[in-house]
Structure 1
Amino acid sequence: MNNMNRNTARKLLAVFAHPDDETFICGGTLAKYAAEGADITLVSATRGEMGRRMGNPPYLNRETIAAAREHELREACDCLGIRELIFLDIRDKTVEFTDEESLTARIEDLIRDINPDAVLTFHERLGGHPDHCAIGKATKAAFSRAGRKDGLYYISFGDMMAVPERFGYTRSDIVKINVSEHLEAKLAAFRAHRCQSEIDEWVWLPDAEALARFGMHEYFIKTELAAPLVNDDDLFQSEDSGAVFAFES
């Protein structure tokens, strides 16, 4: 993408905890927006070096897993169309113990520098893993400190937000993204995360069978203080959000 298009493209910043968060949770959405010309930056707090999956059969150890997972994440980014990858170099399973002020300041600097139109992160209570919740809490604080209000979304797992009332939300709080045309890219990214996905036999079935395991939609929760949604099927909340802004030339 040339500099002119990069400056005019919609920008999406995803701030997650581990390699594979981007793919396993919202890979279809990232692939969709990348295909539409969005400029996507992914932040991974850790390199996932404390992950329990070491390949199937195991071929990694604590000394080699970090480099392997970084390499796999870079391959997954290529599959999804993510332009830039940034590591915060925090040790896996210690994000919750990282100095909160320092972590928030680092993310605030990224938000101010990138000036994204939308930011994705974990819900600070529904994240499901201490690292997830901690990075989500810091990102929410950083977003507010950067003077931003609209455009921050929490990711969710699977179709849990198809019925948001179970979690204290309403349908007006949820953005539902149709990812049906981008599942091939999502599957390729799953397979790029080889050491984490080899144990899941379905990922390695013939393509048609593996693709059938994916849902057609991914769900996102708008933050509590954000304005009402303009569109409930798009993370870019503008009246003309269906337009394609910029493609690589």
Structure 2
Amino acid sequence: MSKLEIAPVKKLLAVFAHPDDESFICGGTLAKYASEGVEITLVSATRGEMGRRMGNPPYLNRESMAAARELELKQACESLGIQHLHFFDIRDKTVEFIEEDILISRIEEFIRDLNPEVVLTFHEKLGGHPDHCAIGKATTAAFRRVAGNDKALYFITFGEEMKRPERFGYSRSDVFKIDVRAHLEAKLASFRAHRCQTEIDEWVWLPDHEALQRFGGHEYFLRGNTGAIARDLHDLFLSAPG
């Protein structure tokens, strides 16, 4: 195949709030697309230095937490196949207090520079944590400023709660169900990389075959831009057939 025939690399940008968001919520999906050659860039707004878990037994403190969680996130990225990692250096638990236009502009710059086909972030109301909701709101605003309908924005969701999207004001046509069963080993490795956050969870450290049984086989995403080209509900990148 000549250079002219090589398909362009697909790109995915994930904009989250804390180290471990990428693993605990959508690690299987990120591992899946990385294994398929998608170039993945992760932005973490904070280094998670205000996290309540400090190891088991505790071995971290507020001064050492940020450096430890940065290292853990880098290791998790290696496990999942995430190629590029950036931090916004916002203090944990203060994302909602950052001037909104500044935060939107920073994310907008990433979207312009990378030109990703897919952007993942939190829903601004269903994120469950003020930092999650704030980074989701800013990312959504940045995406809508610069991305066209050929790009796709998705909101990550927790576990299998989107099996019944009507509870949240959405329909089944808004929910994307990604099969991650072939990538659960990578997801487990990323959980274990976030050591200070998972040491207290005994199941994470069980023998692999037992720990893997705790994972669901699918991860769910909400459609973030309703005006986008119709998509296959089982693939974040594919257009719908027909």
- Greater relative CO, 1 or 2 (CA 8 Å, sep 6+): 1
Aligned residues of 2:230 and 2:240 also touching (Cα < 8 A): no
Cα deviation per residue 1:126-178 (whole Å; 9 max; x = unaligned)? 00000000000000000011143440000000000011111111110011000
In the alignment, the residues of structure 2 paired with residue 170 and residue 12 of structure 1 have an alpha-carbon distance, to the nearest angstrom, of 25
Deviation at 1:224, TM superposition (A): 4.8
Aligned residues of 2:95 and 2:134 also touching (Cα < 8 A): yes
Match of 1:9 in 2: 9
Match of 1:181 in 2: 182
In the alignment, the residues of structure 2 paired with residue 139 and residue 74 of structure 1 have an alpha-carbon distance, to the nearest angstrom, of 22
Match of 1:76 in 2: 76
Match of 1:198 in 2: 199
Aligned residues of 1:159 and 1:219 also touching (Cα < 8 A): yes
Q: How does 1:16-27 map to 2 (within 5 A)?
A: 16-27=16-27
Deviation at 1:53, TM superposition (A): 0.3
TM-score (norm 1): 0.92
Which AA in structure 2 matches 1:222?
R
Q: How does 1:161-176 map to 2 (within 5 A)?
A: 161-176=162-177
Deviation at 1:106, TM superposition (A): 0.3
In the alignment, the residues of structure 2 paired with residue 121 and residue 4 of structure 1 have an alpha-carbon distance, to the nearest angstrom, of 33
In the alignment, the residues of structure 2 paired with residue 5 and residue 221 of structure 1 have an alpha-carbon distance, to the nearest angstrom, of 34
In the alignment, the residues of structure 1 paired with residue 185 and residue 75 of structure 2 have an alpha-carbon distance, to the nearest angstrom, of 15
Which segment drifts farther, 149-158 or 5-14?
5-14
Could you list the structure 1 runs, at least 4 aligned residues long, displaced by more than 6 angstroms after superposition: 3-7
What is the number of residues matched between the two proteins? 238
Deviation at 1:4, TM superposition (A): 9.7
Aligned residues of 2:230 and 2:239 also touching (Cα < 8 A): no
Partner secondary structure for residue 63 of structure 1: helix
Which segment drifts farther, 42-51 or 160-169?
160-169
Aligned residues of 1:173 and 1:229 also touching (Cα < 8 A): no
TM-score (norm 2): 0.94
Match of 1:91 in 2: 91
Consecutive unaligned residues in structure 1, runs of 5 or more: 241-249
Match of 1:235 in 2: 236
In the alignment, the residues of structure 1 paired with residue 5 and residue 224 of structure 2 have an alpha-carbon distance, to the nearest angstrom, of 29
Which segment drifts farther, 69-78 or 229-238?
229-238
Which AA in structure 2 matches 1:39?
E
In the alignment, the residues of structure 2 paired with residue 129 and residue 101 of structure 1 have an alpha-carbon distance, to the nearest angstrom, of 20
Consecutive unaligned residues in structure 2, runs of 5 or more: none
In the alignment, the residues of structure 2 paired with residue 6 and residue 97 of structure 1 have an alpha-carbon distance, to the nearest angstrom, of 45
Cα 1:6–1:62 change in 2 (3 A) is farther
Tell me if 1:43 matches 2:56: no
In the alignment, the residues of structure 1 paired with residue 29 and residue 78 of structure 2 have an alpha-carbon distance, to the nearest angstrom, of 14
In the alignment, the residues of structure 2 paired with residue 156 and residue 6 of structure 1 have an alpha-carbon distance, to the nearest angstrom, of 34
Aligned residues of 2:76 and 2:190 also touching (Cα < 8 A): yes
Percent identity reads 68
